[in-house]
Structure 1
Amino acid sequence: MIPIADLALFAAAATAMVLTPGPNMIYLVSRSICQGRRAGVVSLAGVIAGFVVHMLAAAAGLTTVFMAVPLAYQVLRWAGALYLVWMAWQAIRPGARSPFEAQALAPDSPARLFTMGFATNLLNPKIAIFYLAILPQFVRPGHGSILAQSLQFGMTQIAVSFTVNLGIVLSAAGVSVWFSRRPGWRSAQRYIMASVLGGLALRLLLEPRKVP
Structure 2
Amino acid sequence: MRTILRLLVAAILITASPGPDNLLVLSMGVSKGRKRGIIFGLGCAIGCLSHTVLAVIGVSTMIAASPAAFTALKVAGGLYLIWLAINAFRSRGCAKVETVPAGEEALAKLFFKGIFANAINPKVVLFFLSFLPQFITPSNGNVGWQMAALGVAFTAQAAVLFGLLGYFSGSIGQWLNAKPRAGMILDSIAGAVFVALGLRLIVSR
TM-score grouping bracket, smaller chain normalisation: 0.5 to 0.7
Q: 1:61 aligns with which of 42, 54, 60?
A: 54
| Distance (Å, rounded) in 1 between the aligned partners of 2:61 and 2:151 | 14
**2:51 partner letter:** A
| Unaligned 5+ runs, structure 1 | 1-6, 30-43, 107-115
Q: 1:77 aligns with which of 67, 74, 87?
A: 74
SS of residue matched to 2:47: helix
Q: 2:195 aligns with which of 195, 198, 211?
A: 198
| Distance (Å, rounded) in 2 between the aligned partners of 1:204 and 1:84 | 9
| Distance (Å, rounded) in 1 between the aligned partners of 2:94 and 2:55 | 33
| Distance (Å, rounded) in 2 between the aligned partners of 1:67 and 1:183 | 48
Q: 1:12 aligns with which of 3, 15, 19?
A: 19
Aligned alpha-carbon RMSD (Å): 4.3
Shift of 1:131: 2.2
**1:54 partner letter:** G
The count of residues paired between Structure 1 and Structure 2 equals 173
**1:162 partner letter:** G
Q: 2:111 aligns with which of 124, 133, 144?
A: 124
Shift of 1:55: 2.4
Instruction: Compare relative contact order (CA 8 Å, sep 6+) and give the higher one, 1 or 2.
Output: 2
TM-score normalized by structure 2?
A: 0.60
SS of residue matched to 2:82: helix
SS of residue matched to 2:48: helix
Shift of 1:130: 1.5
**Contact 2:88/2:188 (CA < 8 Å) preserved in 1?**
yes
**Contact 2:47/2:116 (CA < 8 Å) preserved in 1?**
no
Percent of counterpart pairs with the same letter? 20
TM-score normalized by structure 1?
A: 0.58
Alignment-derived partner of residue 163 in structure 2: 162
**2:176 partner letter:** F
TM-superposition CA deviations, 1:63-117 (whole Å, max 9, x none)? 53223454333221111111111111110015664363633579xxxxxxxxx69
**2:21 partner letter:** A
**1:202 partner letter:** L
